[in-house]
A = this chain, B = another copy of it.
Amino acid sequence: MGNVIHRGTGLELVQSGRVESNGVRHMVTRDGRRRVTITDVASHARVSTTAVSKVLRNAYGVSEAMRVKVQAAIDELGYRPQAAARAMRGRTFTFGVVLPHIRNPFFADILDGFDEQIAGAGYQAIIVQGSGRDAEAEVRAIDALVDRQVDGILVVAAVIARARLEEMARNTPTVVLGRHDRSAVYDSVLDDDEAGAELAVEHLIALGHRRIAHITQKDVGAVRSVTLLHTIRARTYERVMAEHGLAEHIALAATAYTEEGGHQGTCELLARTPRPTAIFAGADQAAFGALAAIHEAGLAVPGDVSVVGYDNARAAALSHISLTSVDQDGIIMGKTAGRLLLERIEGRTTAVRFSVTPTLVTRRSTAPPA
């Protein structure tokens, strides 16, 4: 009778995070416990993995008794399905959101609506930053989501070429938010920027302003910018001015929809002679920068210069700022985007276009010119 010498514990932690034992390798948590898998649940409940899988997806062909038994095993073991393994075969129950950056509070509204809508259907949103308004970074962000097999993608304020969006949309359900091009393959959610810009400019004209300037965003990338929202707002500004015989007073500063951009653009505009009596900023962030620049120039709002923003961010309502702004309902836009993705997954193949109508919220940053 030979002696059997036990070497090691039979359960050794190796560097790669796997346990080696009798030549069998398993994914383990780093503190040595194996992660609970569907097989564990199956054997614990004395059923097949198929049955467990069916219960998980509440698929057809499982009796109530089976459902209860399996659910008990799941709860007892604290089992959670691994998204990666699911992705290999089917859905990930994940939607991806591409934001240019997370600094704009308006995106937070969109996201809140989106989250609320999809959570009910068991989906999780993951966000990736497109790092500013750089087209290349946006492509990288989208690729990252495609690589992770998300079931749908929401792209906010995309700057990349439409062809690229369509290519993606042919493979993954896609909603594009805040772009005005019409596509047959992806869904669109947008604000009627033309109506919004009209509200802003008409409001200023009605107050008696004639020298009304506009702060817009500089174009980047090769996309036909006429489909981008900032271009629509700028074009509409020019059109409304012209319609009122104010074409000669059109004054544009192309910077960025940020505090810095608004500040810089306003400095440029105020340096002109005669200087404008009103500024329509394409976004609240830019309007805040404008307020600062006007203040720095020793001028008063609305006494010397009236200011209108766009987005109606929460800060616009604060009484020491009190910015007149165009309100678009970000929550609804986000909710709708979520609903459209869910519909696509349910099988819809025709493209849908959803537009919200903006309203003007007048506050103390606008008044008749002196």
Contacts and interface: CB of A to CB of B under 8 A. Distances in A.
Contacts of A319: 292-293, 295-296
Nearest to A131: B115
Contact of A126 (B128, B172, B321): B128
Contacts of A131: 115
Interface stretch (A42-50, A103-111, A200-208, A233-241): A103-111
A29 B166 CA distance: 13
A131 B108 CA distance: 10
Contacts of A88: 84-85, 88
Contacts of A64: none
B111 A102 contact: yes
A358 interface: no
B315 A291 contact: no
Contacts of A101: 108
Contact of A129 (B82, B127, B260): B127
Per assembly, the copies of the chain total 2
Interface in A93-117: 94, 101-103, 105, 107-108, 111, 115
B103 A103 contact: no
A83 interface: yes
A16 interface: yes
Contacts of A92: 84
Interface of A: 15-16, 29-31, 80-85, 87-88, 90, 92, 94, 101-103, 105, 107-108, 111, 115, 124-129, 131, 143-144, 146-149, 170-172, 259-260, 263, 288-289, 291-296, 314-315, 318-321, 347
Return the 8 tightest CB-CB contacts between A and B, nearest first: A84-B87, A292-B318, A295-B320, A127-B127, A29-B171, A31-B170, A103-B108, A126-B126
18 contacts: A30-B171, A31-B170, A80-B143, A80-B147, A82-B87, A84-B88, A88-B88, A94-B148, A103-B108, A126-B127, A126-B128, A127-B127, A127-B129, A259-B315, A259-B318, A263-B318, A288-B318, A320-B321
